[in-house]
């Protein structure tokens, strides 16, 4: 007699695409920019690829008045505007049929409305009480929502997907972690850093740990230094209320940039499960030496030109104080104090209104020990550099010296490129597609654990504390430049320079 | 997505001429509005295409060129014609960010004796260090030298048993010890396998009736029999695949239809052997008659 516990022999060999169990995805902050630009297009892309559960519902939840019909209309507009796939009425109709809206209010009635809507989708859509709650809301709104959810009886599984920034400093992150921990298990919490969903960031792990040639030289003995740049050409895009509080250090440095450092510097995990990977990352974060004031540069952009257009300075942006001391640029020299990386500087920089949008990790190797062609090299014999292009053109490049054709022995630096599109022609999924699906499936590998967040904040708190002691002379770099002169000096003092991007 | 292609044709050519012409085509000026060029370097795709299959093969290639812009070598055997090797070369360009990616298609008509040792033509044209996929159009001549030597070169052999006059799975099974095998007919069964798997454990004891095109239905029945370890009723041959489970018709969930190009593309993305397919095919080697009354 067969039983349900016997393994299903028909499943063997079926590379069944990961499809979550039936569930309802509740988006807090349904009318927000993130929902329109990223979340809904990602959900639509998953629907096109039939990766969403067959029994699925999306519940928009927000403080603004609205109906399910209005919510569907807004989301349809978002999909047609920002989606990567051509709009298909069939796909949309199926997705839209499961869309509802619940208005939240500060009095608590809103949560009852949400409960009613969720009970309805369970009954109509068969979502079996499984809930993924996406917090696309400011940090200040998270705690009250978590408390409200804790009161909800859970008929199925619950997953909390929380956008960055997670807290404002270590104390607030601790507090939020504690509050969440009182009501939910860590395995139910998915703190999003969308950089971890990018193919190239995951490919960095593949590059390091699936290729035998890199790991032996991935250390202080062969690497001269590492440069990580997260450059944006845009300004604050109307987000002054958030940015005035956050600045570059909380907006990007604390999360994206430190995650890139951690993935670049981490030891090989024993396997690719969530805790193994995150254990190694947190070891790196704990090993980062707190940089002294001379090793950190902050900046704020003034008026300047980007792509030929004159753009206002930060203090001229709408909603920004005319004497604001919020930084829009941070550069730092970090050291990871462990056997692999001791004395190897990690130069990192993040900034807004820089000349171009570019996120790159550059591993610069030490020079050849005996360069017989030194005098014949164009512009001097340059060291090998391994470039990991995170955005916009995802791929890898290795800079090597090559002989120029012809008589003599003239050496020139050339790039050997691996461009994702040249080998894998399928469109790269957006980071949010991967992460939303992972969260619904319950795979936390690409999410940030509580202890990682706290270590990241500990470093940022130490830097910010040093800034409190003196007043910055802002603005100190024109829009469209690579940051204040002190950023260049940070490397020049060590006889190095930022890569020309 | 395909931007354009440059082409060259030659009669009675050598492999060296082919390589030289390909290099010339690749290195021709990209034009003012185009960035640097890069040759794709993922695989060599060899297709054995008897003339009656050429049109279908070219259509499939057209559909998958943008997804797998590999070096493709189409071998068209024409033993009845006099002469050596006639070649048509094309380098196809696809935009990828700020540069162009090129894939190459080498169509070789093998005349007379040149059909006898195709591996000696393929080896110098294969891209070094990369996997070689062999797509065999129509029914393989399993005992022939050209089948055996091309199979020896391949990291994966791809057939479509629905193209065969006779379902010679026993002979195909001989290849399993040498290299990985894909069967497009098997790939088409994927949604049916997913659907049938959903019926576990009830399916274990239910009456199962399979009907459909001969190859597809035979493979599906063989898979069910091997996996469930039970004898199944013979298949009924019909135009469309269908399964009755416990007297009820079942239907796979609606997936977007997959074109021949999509199916071949998916097989080119595969890594490693497929033990479940091999198990089903091996079970056919010792099977009782699988075909029942014709529909």
ipTM for this model: 0.80
For residue B41, the chain A residues in CB contact (below 8 A) are: 422-423
| Closest residue to A419, CB basis, from B99, B197, B253 | B99
Q: Nearest CA to CA, how far is B96 from chain A (Å)? A: 6
Same domain, residue pair B112 and B191: no
| B30 domain residue, yes or no | yes
Interval A195-252: pLDDT, tens? 888 887 888 888 899 888 899 999 999 999 999 999 999 999 888 988 999 999 999 9
CA-to-CA distance for A180 and A174, rounded, in angstroms?
A: 10
Interval B115-147: pLDDT, tens? 888 998 998 888 877 889 999 999 999 999 999
Interface with chain A: mutation pick from B95, B204, B283, highest number of A CBs within 10 Å: B204
CA-to-CA distance for B180 and B52, rounded, in angstroms?
A: 26
Distances (CA, A) of A25 to A20, A43, A73, A121: 11, 10, 18, 11
The pLDDT assigned to A109 comes to: 54
Q: Nearest CA to CA, how far is A50 from chain B (Å)? A: 8
| Closest residue to A422, CB basis, from B101, B227, B274 | B101
Q: Does B193 touch chain A (CB under 8 A)?
A: yes
Q: Does A90 touch chain B (CB under 8 A)?
A: no
Asked which of A39-43, A192-196, B22-26, B273-277 is least confident by mean pLDDT, the reply is B22-26
The pLDDT assigned to B68 comes to: 73
The pLDDT assigned to B260 comes to: 81
Same domain, residue pair B148 and B193: no
Task: Enter the DSSP assignment of A377.
Answer: B
Single out the residue in B154, B173, B199 at which a domain terminates: B154
| B167 domain residue, yes or no | no
Given an 8 Å threshold on Cβ–Cβ distance, is B193 in contact with A14? yes
User: Which residues sit opposite B108 in a β-bridge?
Assistant: B75, B87
For the question of residue A256 being annotated catalytic, the response is yes
Q: Does B165 touch chain A (CB under 8 A)?
A: no
| Closest residue to B196, CB basis, from A10, A13, A50 | A10
| B177 domain residue, yes or no | no
Given an 8 Å threshold on Cβ–Cβ distance, is B190 in contact with A14? yes
Given an 8 Å threshold on Cβ–Cβ distance, is A423 in contact with B98? no
Going residue by residue through chain A, which has 501 residues, state the pLDDT in tens, using 9 for 90 and above: 444 457 889 988 876 666 789 999 999 999 888 999 999 999 999 999 888 998 999 999 988 888 999 999 999 999 999 998 889 999 999 999 999 999 887 655 556 888 899 999 999 999 999 999 999 988 888 999 999 898 877 789 999 999 988 999 999 999 999 999 999 999 999 999 888 888 878 888 888 998 888 999 999 999 999 999 999 999 998 889 889 999 999 999 999 999 999 999 999 999 888 889 999 999 999 999 999 999 999 999 999 998 778 999 999 999 999 999 999 999 999 999 999 999 999 999 999 999 988 899 999 999 877 767 656 655 567 789 999 988 877 788 888 887 777 777 777 777 777 766 656 656 677 889 999 999 999 999 889 999 999 999 999 999 999 998 888 899 999 999 999 999 999 999 999 999 877
**pLDDT for residue B2 is more than 50:** no
Given an 8 Å threshold on Cβ–Cβ distance, is B38 in contact with A422? yes
**pLDDT for residue B34 is more than 70:** no
SS (H, E, C) A181-231: HHHCCHHHEEECCHHHHCHHHHHHHHHHHCCCCCHHHCCCCCEEEEEEEEE
In the Cβ-directed half-sphere of A41, how many Cα atoms lie within 13 Å? 19
The pLDDT assigned to A314 comes to: 97
Whether A43 contacts A23, CB under 8 Å: no
Same domain, residue pair B239 and B118: no
Same domain, residue pair B97 and B196: no
Is the model more confident about B38 or about A354? A354
Same domain, residue pair B26 and B124: yes
| Closest residue to B201, CB basis, from A2, A14, A417 | A2
Q: Does A426 touch chain B (CB under 8 A)?
A: yes
| B179 domain residue, yes or no | no
Same domain, residue pair B207 and B127: no
Same domain, residue pair B75 and B137: yes
- Spell out the residues 6+ positions from residue A392 whose beta carbon is closer than 8 angstroms to its own: A357, A358
Task: Enter the DSSP assignment of B291.
Answer: B
The pLDDT assigned to A1 comes to: 40
Single out the residue in B154, B177, B204 at which a domain terminates: B154
**pLDDT for residue B58 is more than 90:** no
Same domain, residue pair B16 and B148: yes
The pLDDT assigned to A65 comes to: 86
Is the model more confident about B292 or about A10? A10
Q: Does B69 touch chain A (CB under 8 A)?
A: yes
For residue B68, the chain A residues in CB contact (below 8 A) are: 425
Residue of A nearest to B268 (CA): A424
Given an 8 Å threshold on Cβ–Cβ distance, is B201 in contact with A423? no
- Spell out the residues 6+ positions from residue A460 whose beta carbon is closer than 8 angstroms to its own: A169, A170, A249, A250, A253, A254
Residues of chain B above pLDDT 70, percent = 85
Whether A152 contacts A112, CB under 8 Å: no
Same domain, residue pair B144 and B28: yes
| B258 domain residue, yes or no | no
Q: Does B2 touch chain A (CB under 8 A)?
A: no
| B110 domain residue, yes or no | yes
Same domain, residue pair B139 and B208: no
> Residue B117 has which token pair?
């040792």
Given an 8 Å threshold on Cβ–Cβ distance, is B205 in contact with A16? no
| B93 domain residue, yes or no | yes
Q: Does B221 touch chain A (CB under 8 A)?
A: no
Q: Taking residues B241-247, what's their average pLDDT?
A: 94
Interval B62-87: pLDDT, tens? 777 667 767 899 999 999 998 889 99
Q: Which pTM was predicted?
A: 0.78
Total tally of structural domains belonging to chain B: 2
Separation of CA A376 from chain center: 43
Give the range of the structural domain holding residue B205, as residue numbers without chain letter: 187-250
Residue B142: exposure state from Cβ atoms within 10 A (0-12, 13-18, ≥19): middle
Whether A79 contacts A40, CB under 8 Å: yes
Q: Nearest CA to CA, how far is B58 from chain A (Å)? A: 20
Q: Nearest CA to CA, how far is B204 from chain A (Å)? A: 8
Same domain, residue pair B198 and B133: no
| B291 domain residue, yes or no | no
Q: Taking residues B37-66, what's their average pLDDT?
A: 82
CA trace torsion A417, A418, A423, A426 (10° rounding): -120
Single out the residue in B250, B267, B285 at which a domain terminates: B250
Q: Taking residues B180-192, what's their average pLDDT?
A: 93
Same domain, residue pair B8 and B144: yes
């Amino acid at each position: 007699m067969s039983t349900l516990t016997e393994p299903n022999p028909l499943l063997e060999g079926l590379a069944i695409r990961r499809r979550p169990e039936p569930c309802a995805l509740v988006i807090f902050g349904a009318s927000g920019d993130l929902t329109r630009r990223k979340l809904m297009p990602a959900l639509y892309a998953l629907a096109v690829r039939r990766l969403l559960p067959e029994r699925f519902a999306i519940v928009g939840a927000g403080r603004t008045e609205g109906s399910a019909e209005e919510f569907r209309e807004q989301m349809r507009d978002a999909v047609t505007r920002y989606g990567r796939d051509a709009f298909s009425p069939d796909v949309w109709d199926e997705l839209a049929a499961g869309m509802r809206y619940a208005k939240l209010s500060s009095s608590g009635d809103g949560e009852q409305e949400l409960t009613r809507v969720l009970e309805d989708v369970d009954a109509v859509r068969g979502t079996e009480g499984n809930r993924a709650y996406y917090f696309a809301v400011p940090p200040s709104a998270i705690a009250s929502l978590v408390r409200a959810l804790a009161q909800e009886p859970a008929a199925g599984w619950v997953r909390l997907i929380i956008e960055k920034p997670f807290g404002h400093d270590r104390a607030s992150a601790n507090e939020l972690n504690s509050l969440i921990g009182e009501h939910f298990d860590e395995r139910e919490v998915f703190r999003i850093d969308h950089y971890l969903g990018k193919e190239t960031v995951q490919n960095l792990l593949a590059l390091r740990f699936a290729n035998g040639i890199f790991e032996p030289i991935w250390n202080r003995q062969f690497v001269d230094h590492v440069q990580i740049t997260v450059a944006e050409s845009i300004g604050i895009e109307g987000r002054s209320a958030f940015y005035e509080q956050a600045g570059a250090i909380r907006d990007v440095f604390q999360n994206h940039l430190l995650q890139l450092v951690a993935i670049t510097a981490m030891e090989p995990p024993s396997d690719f499960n969530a805790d193994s990977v995150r254990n190694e990352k947190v070891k790196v974060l704990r090993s980062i030496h707190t940089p002294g004031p001379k090793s950190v540069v902050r900046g704020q952009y003034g008026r300047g030109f980007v792509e030929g257009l004159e753009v206002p300075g930060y203090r001229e942006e709408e909603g920004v104080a005319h004497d604001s001391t919020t930084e829009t640029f941070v550069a730092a020299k970090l050291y990871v104090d462990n056997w692999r990386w001791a004395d190897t500087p990690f130069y990192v920089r993040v900034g807004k209104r820089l000349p171009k949008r570019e996120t790159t990790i550059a591993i610069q190797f030490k020079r050849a020990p005996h360069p017989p062609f030194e005098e014949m090299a164009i512009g001097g014999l340059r060291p090998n550099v391994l470039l990991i292009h995170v955005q916009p053109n995802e791929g890898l490049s290795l800079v090597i010296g090559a002989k120029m054709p012809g008589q003599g022995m003239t050496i020139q630096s050339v790039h050997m490129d691996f461009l994702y599109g040249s080998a894998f022609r399928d469109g790269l999924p957006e980071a949010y597609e991967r992460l939303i699906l992972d969260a619904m499936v319950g795979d936390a590998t690409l999410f940030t654990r509580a202890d990682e967040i706290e270590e990241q904040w500990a470093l940022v708190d130490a830097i910010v504390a040093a800034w409190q002691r003196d007043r910055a002379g802002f603005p100190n770099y024109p829009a469209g430049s690579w940051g204040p002169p002190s950023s260049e000096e940070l490397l020049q003092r060590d006889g190095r320079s930022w890569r020309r991007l | 997505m395909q931007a354009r292609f440059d082409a060259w044709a030659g009669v009675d050519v050598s492999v060296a001429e082919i390589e030289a012409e390909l290099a010339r085509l690749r290195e021709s000026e990209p034009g003012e509005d185009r960035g640097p060029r890069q040759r794709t370097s993922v695989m060599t795709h060899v297709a054995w295409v008897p003339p009656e299959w050429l049109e279908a093969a070219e259509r499939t290639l057209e559909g998958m060129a943008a997804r797998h812009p590999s070096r493709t070598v189409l071998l068209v055997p024409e033993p009845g014609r006099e002469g050596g090797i006639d070649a048509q070369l094309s380098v196809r360009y696809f935009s990828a960010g700020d540069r162009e990616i090129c894939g190459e298609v080498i169509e070789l008509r093998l005349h007379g004796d040149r059909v006898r040792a195709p591996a000696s033509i393929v080896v110098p044209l294969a891209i070094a260090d990369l996997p070689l996929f062999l797509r065999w159009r129509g029914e393989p001549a399993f005992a022939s030298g050209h089948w055996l030597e091309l199979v020896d070169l391949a990291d994966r052999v791809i057939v479509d048993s629905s193209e065969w006059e006779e379902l010679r799975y026993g002979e195909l099974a001989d290849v399993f010890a040498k290299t990985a095998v894909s069967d497009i007919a098997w790939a088409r069964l994927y949604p049916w396998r997913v659907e049938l798997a959903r019926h576990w454990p009830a399916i274990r004891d239910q009456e199962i009736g399979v009907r459909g095109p001969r190859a597809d239905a035979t493979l599906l029945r063989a898979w069910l029999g091997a996996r469930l370890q039970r004898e199944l009723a013979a298949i009924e041959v019909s135009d469309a695949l269908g399964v009755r489970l416990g007297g009820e018709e079942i239907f796979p969930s609606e997936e977007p239809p997959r074109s021949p190009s999509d199916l071949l593309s998916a097989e080119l993305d595969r890594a490693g052997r497929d033990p479940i397919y091999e198990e089903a095919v091996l079970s056919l080697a010792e099977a009782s008659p699988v075909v029942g009354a014709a529909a």
